[in-house]
Amino acid sequence: MSSMSPRIAELIDALPVEPDEAVAPNAAFQGLLQELSHKQVPIGRLNRLWVLGTLQAKIAAAYFAWWLRGGYASADKRQRTLNETHLKAALKLLGGMSYLRGAIMKAGQIMATHPDVAPEQFADVLGHLHFEAPPMHFSLLREFVRSELGGDPEDVFDQFETRAFAAASLGQVHRARLKGTDQLVAIKVQYPNIGRTIRDDFRNLLALLTPMRLSGDWDNLKAQFEDIRHMLDLETDYEQEAENLRIARSAFTEDDGIVVPRVFPEVSTRRVLTMEYVGGLHLEKFLSTDPSQELRDQFGHKICVSVLRVQYSKKFVYADPQPGNYLFMPDGRLGFIDFGSCHFQSDEDIECLADAERAYLGSSPEAVRKTYVRGGDLTPKQAADDTRLKMYGQWADWAWEPVVHEGPFDFGDRDYFRRGASLYGELIRRRYMRSRPSNTWLIKCIYGLRAMLAHLKARVDLGAIFREENTVSHGQDA
């Protein structure tokens, strides 16, 4: 057998070590962060595919070992060891995704955000991906900032903190002060070559989807796929995010209690974004303070307003309502801080959504059916498929349930989100995935918002907020 190539051996050596089974999850996670901070993100299609395949094999081996060991164990012991295996597999997945970053890490964030889509242990461990990914070592960051801003971080800013206080799939964030001022800022620095890794991952995924070319839905699926790739490309453009922040900031007043940070363009580039620092707690730390139900409801209300306000007044879908993008501030205000994933709606998108809202709220079965056909971009044969349309109707009923509900809706009822996850899983299983590309972001927004409110266990009158934001928006348009 031929010897292993030096490049593949190097990639295997760079993979995170197996976490010690006796080490507590948090300690194992901190060890992964320390180990990965010195490693460059792997680039190249084949290199990244190899790492992903190795990670998949490790997770499969963990479950195979559980199956072998548990053949003659009691039901209680099998369940206990299965939970332990979930935890170990989640740590492997966390390490691999943190090493690869980019689009792969984005997938992990989605798994963590959606309860009941993955085992609870996976969601808990992968939740670290929202803002606790392994940061670049400062020596790497210094060189990158120098190339972008023309000087070392300590020279461009005052009191630049060398340790990142947050890190995620595309970049990491440092605190500093603007030169010669008292203004505290958060500086978001993109990982080198991250845009290339996203393109590589999408080429690999497109290759895996090749068998679907024989499907009658291929052109539609490819259009959705290209729209997702384009959105992730935009997320690596911090100049576009700066513009998104400016637009969103203009949507709120002081009375709203929603804070969108101000951007400082003089120390920002396409790959470095400097904005006003917003202090507060992320969701899990906020929940650890045992907030009252009243406070949970108040923050839940603000989260709903934040999403619907930009959608109806600024015409973009905020596609990433997740724990890493909100801060619960001590004075009761909500920090709304990350605007990389924003889908600006075309006139046709807006018209299509407005037709769906009017049809559903008007309770006209034929009008609702037409919106399913239009929104799903269905062929005549698919439009005549009663089973498909019935499933679309079930999912629409689930999505609209909190809106048509009279008074505050209890998002803490886990059965509600469980039903939505099950319905969407069934749509995927049946391959009912044909859709207008813009719906990808609307659906991501719907699930993300409901997942946030479920974690928060908030009770919110979403119908009242919907009517208010929709009415105000139409008044502005007029």
pLDDT in tens, 396-418: 999 999 999 999 999 999 899 98
Can you tell me the distance from the alpha carbon of 420 to that of 62, in angstroms, rounded to the nearest whole number?
A: 30
Average pLDDT over residues 53-74: 54
Element (H, E) at 58: helix 45-69
The Cβ of residue 386 has, within 10 Å, a number of other Cβ atoms equal to 7
Indicate the average pLDDT of the chain: 80
At residue 107, the pLDDT reads: 56
Confidence grade of residue 58 (pLDDT, cut at 50, 70, 90): low
Are 169 and 101 in contact by the 8 Å Cβ rule? The answer is yes
Rg for the chain (alpha carbons), in Å? 23
Confidence grade of residue 124 (pLDDT, cut at 50, 70, 90): low
Q: How does DSSP classify residue 209? A: T
Q: Please give the residue that has the higher pLDDT: either 154 or 94.
A: 154
The Cβ of residue 294 has, within 10 Å, a number of other Cβ atoms equal to 9
Confidence grade of residue 1 (pLDDT, cut at 50, 70, 90): very low
Beta-bridge partner residues of 281: 328
Confidence grade of residue 234 (pLDDT, cut at 50, 70, 90): confident
Can you tell me the distance from the alpha carbon of 310 to that of 323, in angstroms, rounded to the nearest whole number?
A: 18
Can you tell me the distance from the alpha carbon of 285 to that of 111, in angstroms, rounded to the nearest whole number?
A: 20
Average pLDDT over residues 167-174: 82
pLDDT of 354 strictly over 70 = yes
Are 289 and 281 in contact by the 8 Å Cβ rule? The answer is yes
Assigned token pair, 430 = 């049946």
| Lowest-confidence region among 121-125, 351-355, 385-389 | 121-125
At residue 222, the pLDDT reads: 74
pLDDT of 4 strictly over 50 = no
Assigned token pair, 204 = 């690999």
Q: Please give the residue that has the higher pLDDT: either 204 or 49.
A: 204
pLDDT of 67 strictly over 70 = no
Residues belonging to the chain = 478
The residues, any chain, with a CB within 8 Å of residue 146's CB and separated by 6 or more, are: 152
What does the pLDDT look like over 244-284, one tens digit per residue? 999 999 999 999 999 999 999 999 999 999 999 999 999 99
pLDDT of 170 strictly over 90 = no
Q: Please give the residue that has the higher pLDDT: either 292 or 74.
A: 292
pLDDT of 47 strictly over 50 = yes
Confidence grade of residue 15 (pLDDT, cut at 50, 70, 90): very low
Can you tell me the distance from the alpha carbon of 16 to that of 20, in angstroms, rounded to the nearest whole number?
A: 12
pLDDT of 425 strictly over 90 = no
What does the pLDDT look like over 282-311, one tens digit per residue? 999 999 999 999 999 999 999 999 999 999
Average pLDDT over residues 133-137: 68
Assigned token pair, 104 = 């792969």
Confidence grade of residue 317 (pLDDT, cut at 50, 70, 90): very high
Quick one: how far is CA 222 from the chain centroid?
21
Amino acid at 19: P
Average pLDDT over residues 136-156: 91
| Lowest-confidence region among 112-121, 192-201, 339-348, 447-456 | 112-121
Are 335 and 278 in contact by the 8 Å Cβ rule? The answer is yes
Prediction pTM value: 0.74
At residue 179, the pLDDT reads: 95
The 3-state DSSP class for residue 312 equals helix
At residue 19, the pLDDT reads: 47
The Cβ of residue 387 has, within 10 Å, a number of other Cβ atoms equal to 9
Average pLDDT over residues 305-320: 96
Element (H, E) at 311: helix 293-313
